[in-house]
Amino acid sequence: MSRLASACLPLTLVLGFATTAIADPLPEPPVGIATLATQAANTAVAERLPLTDPQDFEDASRGLVAQLDDPRILNPDGSVAWDTARFDFLDAPAPATVNPSLWRQGQLNSLHGLFEVVPGIWQFRGYDMAVMTLIAGDIGWIVVDPLTTSAPARAGLALANRELGERPVTGIIFTHSHGDHFGGVRGIIDEAEVAERQVPVIAPHGFTAEAVSENLMAGNYMGRRASLQFGNHLPPGETGHVGTGLGQRLSNGQIGLLRPTYEVPLGGETLTIDGVEFVFVDASNTEAPAELMFYLPALKALSTAEVATRTFHNVLTPRGAKVRDTLRWSQALDEVLVRFGGEAEVLFASHHWPTWGRERLQQALQNQRDLYRYVHDQTIRLANHGGTQHEIAEELEEPWFSATDFGTRDYYGTLNHNSKAVYQNYFGWWDGVPANYHQHPPEAAATRYVDLMGGAEEGLRKGIAAFESGDYRWAATVFNHIVFADAGNRPAQEWLAAAYEQMGFQAESGAWRNYYLTAAMELRDGLPETPQTFDDPAFLQGVPTAALLDALVARYNPARLSREAFVIQFVFPDRQEQFHVEVNPAVAFPRSGMAPAATAQLTLDRSDFDRLLMRRVELPELLQGGGAELSGDGTAIGAFFGALDQFEYWFNVATP
């Protein structure tokens, strides 16, 4: 071969390795700014909706009696339970980084104080996610839904006593089984006072079982996802937390539970509490599995609890819960519309502000009823045409009245995910497509997708192109595959966070915004280091022992059992209760009563058992101090507790 020919050979042959063109460096993702596509999307919302309609602001401000002197409500340990000042930034026009409809809802939800609904009914609003209602009885206050934590409930009652005259609590009503409607009860009353003064604590049928199911049985997983839904760790501001749509946020502090003294039966009932007649309406299996509404004939006032508020609610929550029945939901609303719509003069609920006037009340109830019936019927109709949950959700358009009735808009639940929930309620999690029945789990699938993309870098470029075109949904899908294929790929994490951020900036739903922005924050900054636990003695105290043991054995890990099957007997003298747990290599099964032949018996007060479960005391300490007695084979106790998993709250969500 000649020297000239050699000189003309490709460089790859001369050097003995292949070369590739040097790729352009990847651009940096935007952080904390609204892209042009997001600005255009939010501008379109502002142009489409009558955001300047003053009616909601007039209603939300009506009847103000007083506000707390200090914007902060403190817990006994000095921590902040609530601070109204954190939402002062909302007193401004909507920025480009917030859906203008959600911004408006945040402004309304931030209005705070003690408000008169009608003479005899007041509401403490704007100091928690939910609203606490106080109804004047012959002697004292009938308190409806005492908020999430003790300190705001205590502050609300104190404000009412200061402004309206001192009254004892003569009744408690829990409208349903969600924690933001009962968790603050110990701030206004406890078991001893309930028993001493015979104060009725009224709740719907099945309340205790459902409250325990959500907050204890599924508490760790649901609580972790709730931290994203409610934006618990997002800083308030134009690029962060602006509210949940249902209210601003959950208060911080002690969450308690009191066992009801009476549960209203299925079908409803009329009761007189402290001289006030309540017509209770069964609303079970609507917004909550256990829920009621009520009408006050003497005051011509209708409470729809959380069945009808000033938003489209969740049919299946982002935090996870039992899917809700929209057909039943619409029927319950139609019942109160027919029974009381012709005479009621005011409609109030456990969130948001009231609606006054018979015609406006009737229209609000009808629109709420039609909203849940619409998503139900249209989902079923399209499913019967062969549509899958994702296809149906994309096809559905909002009903006509949502263009002007802000109370039916997607501030919390959305038409998109509520339609999927209706589908799930009837057809389950699967869309019927065979390829989707037994898919690879996310990490295994992600490695295959990235391979099809041509590798992570090529996938990133394709995702960035989708991002720059404004297709943030597809960009997030591409980036998510790369992250789940390689959790250490920092550029993919940053770009995924950027996609989530723009989706959050555009979301009309406060829950969607919070979920996206919290996920973006976790991708950028890692998981919070704040210790988190749902083992609150104020809550466990109100949990029936049977339910507590059911939740306890749900932690049983058979692989950790170190011996043959055995039976443990528990005796709780303070409650005069006996339960035993049969432990075998597959399950741990609790039963009430005494076991015929227990391997070991542990006798201690239920209150000390609660402390033991919360790791606030060790068993040897109780035994040595005389707080517990152990008989039989003590190694069985160690084997049982040693086979129980301990859950980490801060598990990954946005990364594998």
- pLDDT tens by residue, 75-132: 999 999 999 999 999 999 999 999 999 999 999 999 999 999 999 999 999 999 999 9
Is the pLDDT reported for residue 626 higher than 60? Answer: yes
Please give the structure tokens belonging to residue 319.
Answer: 């935090």
- Residue 368 contacts residue 407 (beta carbons within 8 Å): yes
In the predicted model, is pLDDT for residue 637 greater than 50?
yes
Candidate CATH numbers 3.40.1390.10, 3.30.479.30, 3.30.565.10, 3.60.15.30; the one for domain 36-427 = 3.60.15.30
- The answer to whether residue 6 scores a pLDDT higher than 80 is no
> Which residue type sits at 170?
T
CA distance 557 to 576: 29
Lowest-pLDDT range of 292-296, 348-352, 532-536, 641-645 = 532-536
Give the tens place of pLDDT for each residue, 561-582.
Answer: 989 999 999 999 999 999 999 9
Read off the pLDDT of each residue in 620-625 and give the average, rounded to a whole number. 94
Short-list 116, 168, 118, 113, CA closest to 138: 168
| pLDDT at site 217 | 84
Average confidence (pLDDT) over 236-249: 97
Does the pLDDT value for residue 3 go beyond 50?
Answer: no
Residue ranges of the chain assigned to CATH 3.60.15.30: 36-427
The larger pLDDT score, comparing residue 154 to residue 1, is at 154
| Residue 11 clears pLDDT 60, i.e. is over it | no
Task: Give the C-alpha separation, 407 to 105, whole Å.
Answer: 10
- Cα 123 from chain centroid? 22
pLDDT at 511: 97
**Helix and strand element counts for the chain (H, E):** 23, 21
For residues 193 and 198, give the distance between their C-alpha atoms in angstroms, rounded to a whole number: 8
Residues in contact with 438: Cβ distance below 8 Å, sequence separation at least 6, in sequence order: none
Strands 113-118 and 80-83: unpaired
Residues 187-207 have pLDDT tens digits of: 999 999 999 999 999 999 999
**Token pair listed for 222:** 């649901």
Phi, psi for 146 (deg, rounded to 5): -80, 50
So what's the pLDDT on residue 5? Answer: 36
At residue 22, the pLDDT reads 56
State pLDDT tens for residues 309-325. Answer: 999 999 999 999 899 99
- Mean pLDDT over residues 350-374, rounded? 98
Mean pLDDT of 346-360: 98
- State the DSSP H helix or E strand holding residue 377, giving kind and residue range, or none if neither: helix 358-384
pLDDT the model gives residue 215: 80
| C-beta contacts of 159-164 below 8 A and 24+ residues apart | 159/66, 159/68, 159/114, 159/124, 160/114, 160/122, 160/124, 160/134, 162/66, 163/65, 163/66, 163/114, 164/65, 164/122, 164/136
- In this prediction, residues 584-609 reach a mean pLDDT of 96
The pLDDT, as a whole number, for residue 213 is 83
pLDDT at residue 396 in the model: 97
428 falls in which pLDDT band (50, 70, 90)?
very high
Identify the pLDDT of residue 533. 59
Q: What are phi and psi of 178, to 5 degrees?
A: -95, 140
The mean pLDDT value for 506-533 works out to 92
CA angle (182 as vertex; 212, 300 as ends), nearest 5: 130
H-run or E-run covering 552: helix 545-553
* Residue 379's pLDDT band (cuts 50, 70, 90): very high
One-letter identity of residue 624:
Q
Task: Work out the number of other CB atoms within 10 angstroms of the CB of residue 647.
Answer: 13
> What class does CATH assign to 544-642?
alpha beta
Q: Is the pLDDT of residue 442 over 50?
A: yes
The mean per-residue pLDDT over the stretch 405-416 comes to 98
Residue 575 to residue 592: CA distance in whole angstroms: 13
pLDDT score of 482 more than 60: yes
Q: What is the pLDDT of residues 139-183, one digit of tens each?
A: 999 999 999 999 999 999 999 999 999 999 999 999 999 999 999
Classify each residue of 104-133 as buried b or exposed e, where b means 16 or more C-beta atoms within 10 Å of its C-beta.
bbbbbbbbbbbbbbbeebbbbbbbbbbbbb
Backbone angles phi, psi at 603, to 5 degrees: -115, 120
Structural tokens at position 89: 């930034």
390 contacts 416 by C-beta, under 8 angstroms = no
Q: Which of the 8 DSSP states describes residue 295?
A: E
Query: Which residue in 37, 509, 554 sits closest to 228, CA to CA?
Result: 509
CB 89 within 8 Å of CB 43: no
Average pLDDT in the chain: 94
pLDDT of residue 525: 96
What is the reported pLDDT for 12? 33
The helix or strand, by DSSP H or E, that contains position 547, with its residue range, turns out to be helix 545-553
495 and 460 Cβ atoms separated by less than 8 Å: yes
Query: How confident is the model at residue 24, as a pLDDT?
Result: 83
Taking only the tens place, the pLDDT of each residue in 48-76 is 999 999 999 999 999 999 999 999 999 99
pLDDT(10) > 50: no
Burial of residue 240, with CB atoms counted within 10 A of its CB: 0-12 exposed, 13-18 middle, 19 or more buried: buried
Which band of pLDDT confidence, cut at 50, 70 and 90, is reported for residue 538?
A: confident
